[in-house]
């Protein structure tokens, strides 16, 4: 079984097989290639759509509502669409004095605070005979030359002063049991800009150090042993080589000793070496903080060769 020996302050001795360890030195730093970054390209999309909502308004006692006066209305309960409050206004005697109560008027009004609210509207007087001959005025499903209607402020309305001639309404299938049914649909126009979609996948915190720790503690598949103050500390060459270019050269380089199975460390207490080996193999983030409490004792370990090992792997 090959054995290496490390003494404080002195060079490494040769193995029984007569092969010296390779010189211990920090690996040279490879130059960092420089290149110009690729041109930046970005994209975005402006999306404009409507947020739609409907309200059903039943006007019961139509004959009793007549005669309330021109310009006076019966209002529905307010309802919310697109973040704004809306209400239906029905004028039994009409909205305009010039018509002399010959027509009923029907409007949809902005009932909450708002400025330049753009929307599409639909007002429907329901045919209560079941024939489906509803009277519909709508913005939906057709091209609007001037675009959606804009309501400037609270109280602004869209609708018809001459929605239906009153004499014709009272003899039609729209009036049944002295009741009228009005359906209203509002589509509030909203716009927003979309950038590239970013999908976030939560990544759990790495527990690789725990796995390496369990592997080291179990002693399974170890292929190198440190002898310190009479105690044996098994380890894994591949882990040591992954953590240090010095160990990588010593254990796997061209001057490696295939028969080496043990490295002897002198002038170091076994508990101190055990903690340092654990910290070294686990890649703990608080290595330097922990070593500050072991400053005096660990200084011996961090000389030859472990000082080069740790210094070449800053955390």
In terms of pTM, does the model score above 0.75?
no
State mean pLDDT over 259-288: 71
pLDDT digits (tens, 9 = 90+) for 51-69: 999 999 999 999 999 999 9
pLDDT reported for residue 297: 42
Residues recorded for the chain: 315
pLDDT reading at 6 higher than 70 = no
Examine the pLDDT at 116 and tell me if it is beyond 60: yes
Bridge-based pairing of strands 149-151 and 84-91 is unpaired
Per-residue pLDDT, averaged over 249-265, amounts to 78
Contacts of residue 88, Cβ cutoff 8 Å, sequence gap at least 6: 55, 57, 75, 76, 106, 107, 108, 109, 123, 182, 184
124 pLDDT exceeds 90?
yes
Element (H, E) at 287: helix 287-291
Residue 259 confidence (pLDDT) above 50 = yes
- Alpha-carbon gap, residue 140 to 67, rounded angstroms: 34
pLDDT for 167 equals 93
Residue 287 pLDDT greater than 80, yes or no: no
């Amino acid at each position: 079984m090959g054995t290496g020996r490390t003494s404080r302050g002195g060079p490494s001795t040769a193995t029984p097989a007569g092969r010296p360890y390779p010189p211990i030195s920090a690996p040279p730093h490879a130059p960092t290639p420089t290149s110009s970054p690729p041109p930046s390209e970005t994209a975005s999309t402006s999306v404009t759509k409507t947020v739609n909502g409907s309200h059903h308004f039943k006007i019961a006692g139509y004959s009793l509502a007549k005669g309330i006066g021109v310009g006076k209305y019966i209002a529905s309960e307010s309802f919310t669409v697109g973040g704004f409050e809306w209400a239906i206004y029905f004028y039994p005697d009409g909205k305009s004095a010039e018509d002399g109560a010959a027509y009923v008027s029907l409007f949809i009004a902005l009932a909450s605070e708002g400025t330049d609210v753009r929307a599409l509207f639909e007002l429907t007087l329901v045919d209560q005979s079941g024939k489906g001959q509803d009277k519909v005025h709508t913005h939906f499903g057709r091209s609007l030359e001037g675009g959606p209607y804009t309501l400037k402020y609270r109280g602004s309305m869209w609708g018809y002063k001459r929605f239906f001639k009153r004499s014709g309404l009272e003899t039609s299938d729209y009036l049944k049991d002295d009741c009228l049914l009005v359906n209203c649909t509002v589509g509030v126009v909203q716009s927003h800009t979309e950038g590239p979609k970013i999908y976030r996948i939560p990544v759990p915190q790495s527990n690789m150090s725990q796995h390496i720790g369990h592997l080291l503690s179990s002693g399974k598949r170890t292929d190198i042993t440190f002898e310190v103050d009479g105690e044996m500390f098994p380890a894994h060459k591949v882990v040591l080589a992954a953590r240090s270019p010095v160990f990588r050269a010593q254990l796997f380089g061209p001057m490696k000793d295939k028969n080496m199975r043990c490295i002897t460390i002198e002038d170091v207490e076994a508990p101190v070496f055990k903690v340092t080996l654990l910290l070294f193999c686990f890649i703990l983030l608080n290595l330097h903080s922990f070593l500050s409490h072991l400053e005096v004792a660990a200084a011996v370990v961090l000389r030859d060769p472990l000082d080069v090992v740790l210094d070449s792997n800053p955390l």
